[in-house]
A and B are shown apart, each in its own frame.
Chain A
Amino acid sequence: MSDGADVIVIGAGIVGAACAHELARRGQRVLVLDAGLRAATAAGMGHLIVLDDNPAELALSQYSVQRWRDWSRDMPDDCAYRQNGTLWLAANAEEMAVAEAKYQVLREHGLDCELLGAGALRDAEPELRDGLHGGLRVTGDGILYAPNAARWLLDHPLIEQRRARVIEIDGSRVRLEDGGWLGAQAVILAGGTHVTELCPELPIEPKKGHLLITDRYPGRISHTLVELGYVTSAHNASGPSTAANIQPRPTGQLFIGASRQFGSSDPAVEPWMLAKMLQRAVDYMPGLARLNGIRAWTGFRAAGPDGLPLLGEHPQRPGLWLAVGHEGLGVTTAPGSADLLVAQLLGETAPLAPEPYLPQRFPGVRAHA
């Protein structure tokens, strides 16, 4: 089928898989090439979360979280989808003000959410430390085991998967490691942090993150707990930073993030950074300190300059379509990214205004010769 594929997708992570799925659903024959490199889908937390740093991020994440909810009815159990909600934690009055502002914005956009005072927060999650000011519960958020979700999305008779490394892209043609060329009507690049090897003009940088998972301790928490410091201070800095993010897995394990570091491509776990991240989580949930972590690892987010993905045709490489730069939100926004890209590719009306995500917003991509 490969010679006859309508579209070639590079990258079988969650974004590439969603693009392939949406194309196949419309009757397109898709060849998905994946080199088996380290990538964010396998490393990340699978947190489906609505973020509202800007209107475009809110639109894409809200639309996508809804799409995951729709898909979840057909997803097999091993995708581990749960709509457990996110609980944003306010440690002080300033963060509580952020929670209130966030509440207003989300409510205006029709999202189900609820402000909790200190007492209600303790009742909702008794493992949290005393002295927190309150929180914001966002009911529609969820979690997922992304590698299995990607596998489920790719399981379609019109999708062929092949383990192959692309070493060159020429519009809608790709050259593989063995020197052979494959062509289609379009090529979609969804290669995460690896895309700059093929398109050096793309403004994508790896942002390193540490993760740790504990042994099974069922029933400790029910929401995914995220500190509001995540949006107010720590994570907006350009240096290394951490923020508490504690997720209850369906197995009873607790999955702990998050850290951010620029300028590193070394996947080694760095004990100082892991310790800093865990200390932050323990600050919010003291009982964590008595639980056993069984594994720690790192991953790399494909980060662009403005925090939004690049979704659309490459302005200087006709036939090449980009679905890159999702940073920490690739699992969340994969469905919306796929719908936006596929609508543009097939000339359909897109479900969201595509402009904020178009690759040509970056001069370096526009100027590429």
Chain B
Amino acid sequence: MPELTLDGRPLLVAPGTTVAAALLLGGDGTSRTSVSGQRRAPVCGMGICQECRVTIDGQRRLACQTLCRDGMRVESRP
């Protein structure tokens, strides 16, 4: 089972879990903070809406299009 860190906290997920699902399993489901300071969460789940962009190992990625891997570092803030 892959173990990742989500905003600094460790999280163990089932193989095949997307990062979008991990956001919900390990937190409140939100993925990012908008320009106006609101928290945002995945909407479309298919790589179109761009709401689920998170930073994974230093690179901006879409959480719904990325599978969790062991050792992955996911950041949803600020």
Whether B35 pairs with A292 at a CB distance below 8 angstroms is no
Whether B50 pairs with A295 at a CB distance below 8 angstroms is yes
Whether B35 pairs with A215 at a CB distance below 8 angstroms is no
Q: Closest CB of chain A to B76's CB: distance in Å? A: 14
Q: B35, B50, B59, B61: which contacts A294 (Cβ < 8 A)?
A: B50
* B residues whose Cβ falls under 8 Å from a Cβ of A: 35, 50, 53, 59-61
Chain B residues positioned under 8 Å from A69 (CB to CB): none
* CB-CB contacts below 8 Å: A200-221 with B: 215-216
Whether A251 pairs with B50 at a CB distance below 8 angstroms is no
Q: Closest CB of chain B to A294's CB: distance in Å? A: 4
* Chain B CB within 8 A of A97 CB: no
11 contacts between A and B (CB under 8 A): A215-B50, A215-B60, A216-B35, A251-B35, A290-B59, A291-B60, A292-B53, A292-B60, A292-B61, A294-B50, A294-B53
Bound Cα distance from A267 to B53, whole angstroms? 27
Chain A residues positioned under 8 Å from B50 (CB to CB): 215, 294-295
Q: Closest CB of chain B to A148's CB: distance in Å? A: 14
Q: A216-B35, A294-B50 are in contact. List 11 more A-B contacts (CB 8 A).
A: A215-B50, A215-B53, A215-B60, A251-B35, A290-B59, A291-B60, A292-B53, A292-B60, A292-B61, A294-B53, A295-B50
Chain B residues positioned under 8 Å from A291 (CB to CB): 60
Chain A residues positioned under 8 Å from B59 (CB to CB): 290
Q: Closest CB of chain A to B20's CB: distance in Å? A: 16
Bound Cα distance from A215 to B53, whole angstroms? 9
Q: How many A-B residue pairs have CB under 8 A?
A: 13
| Interface size range on A against B | under 10
Bound Cα distance from A216 to B53, whole angstroms? 11
Chain A, residues 130-173, CB within 8 Å of chain B (1/0): the string is 00000000000000000000000000000000000000000000
Chain B residues positioned under 8 Å from A295 (CB to CB): 50
Q: Closest CB of chain B to A255's CB: distance in Å? A: 14
Identity of the chain B residue whose Cβ is nearest the Cβ of A253 in the assembled complex: B35
Chain B residues positioned under 8 Å from A216 (CB to CB): 35
Chain B CB within 10 Å — which of A290, A291, A294, A295 has the most? A294
Bound Cα distance from A144 to B59, whole angstroms? 29
Shortest Cβ-Cβ A-B pairs, 7 listed: A294-B50, A292-B60, A251-B35, A215-B60, A215-B53, A292-B53, A295-B50
Identity of the chain B residue whose Cβ is nearest the Cβ of A251 in the assembled complex: B35
* CB-CB contacts below 8 Å: A262-294 with B: 290-292, 294
Chain B residues positioned under 8 Å from A251 (CB to CB): 35
Bound Cα distance from A291 to B35, whole angstroms? 18
Chain A, residues 294-305, CB within 8 Å of chain B (1/0): the string is 110000000000
Bound Cα distance from A294 to B50, whole angstroms? 6
Chain A, residues 99-120, CB within 8 Å of chain B (1/0): the string is 0000000000000000000000
Q: Closest CB of chain A to B78's CB: distance in Å? A: 10
Q: Closest CB of chain B to A289's CB: distance in Å? A: 12
Chain B residues positioned under 8 Å from A294 (CB to CB): 50, 53
Bound Cα distance from A89 to B61, whole angstroms? 31
Q: Closest CB of chain B to A290's CB: distance in Å? A: 8
Bound Cα distance from A290 to B50, whole angstroms? 16
Q: Closest CB of chain A to B27's CB: distance in Å? A: 20
Identity of the chain B residue whose Cβ is nearest the Cβ of A249 in the assembled complex: B35
Bound Cα distance from A245 to B10, whole angstroms? 42
Q: Closest CB of chain A to B25's CB: distance in Å? A: 24
Bound Cα distance from A290 to B57, whole angstroms? 13
Bound Cα distance from A291 to B53, whole angstroms? 12
Chain A residues positioned under 8 Å from B60 (CB to CB): 215, 291-292
Identity of the chain A residue whose Cβ is nearest the Cβ of B59 in the assembled complex: A290
Q: Closest CB of chain B to A76's CB: distance in Å? A: 15
Bound Cα distance from A327 to B8, whole angstroms? 50
